[in-house]
Structure 1
Amino acid sequence: MTDYLDLRLNEDAVRSISTLGLAYLGDAVFELMVRSRLCLEGKATSGKLHKAAVSRVSAPAQAAAARRLLPLLSEEEQAVFRRGRNANVHAVPKNASREDYQTATALETLFGWLYLHGRRGRLNELFENILRDEEAGK
């Protein structure tokens, strides 16, 4: 049986997934991390949880977080990030510029890639950096 919460694919298996497929999965991973954090913070009502989550998983918020993380990424992670940023996205949401949307897609691609490689420690490290910067008001 496949453990979908603890995937550890080899490089060939991950490479066979499209860039937008990695971003799709990475978006869910990022949102799960955000939602987990919000629950740990004690946001009580679903309305408050939803509002707080949306503000953190929007393309502009993800793009800002991604820009702050760039200096922390390894060469391999930067290559994955560039792959995501260069993905051919057709529709951009109203609340985001094309640049922000592409940068957010890059972050999501990286999170999907790390997740599929089973690099949960690195995911947590990058996410903690995002939280630390948010709390510092950067």
Structure 2
Amino acid sequence: MKNELHQSGSLYLKQHANNPVHWQLWSADVLAQAVRDQRLLVLSIGYSSCHWCHVMEEESFEDEEVAALMNAHYTSIKIDREERPDLDARYMNAVQLMTGQGGWPLNCIALPDGTPVWGGTYFSKADWM
């Protein structure tokens, strides 16, 4: 796998196109491959003017150690909440039920079929490791 965000029309997603994380675009094909590979999903949802989204990108998603961990163990999907408000609402509701908190960046670990199992908002490098 490689980072596929350069294919997106979203400014937010393109901002992550050079991350060492092998970000994928949300699609039925990506989910089907995760099911075949039996890999959990990392879903990271944000938007282009989100300050903490940019901080987390710099601290975590541009970090080679974090990227190596994510690339080895997960199918990582980056989502622009402005393009996919349906996915934002689904995973925001799940994280709020799990933690009592919400906001962006929104990060969720999900089963290969997209069922959320754990999540939160801003995670530092130490949180990912």
Higher helix share: 1
TM-score greater than 0.5 by the shorter chain: no
Instruction: Tell me which of the two structures has the higher relative contact order, counting C-alpha pairs closer than 8 angstroms and 6 or more residues apart.
Output: 1
TM-score by length of 2: 0.28
Higher strand share: 2
TM-score by length of 1: 0.27
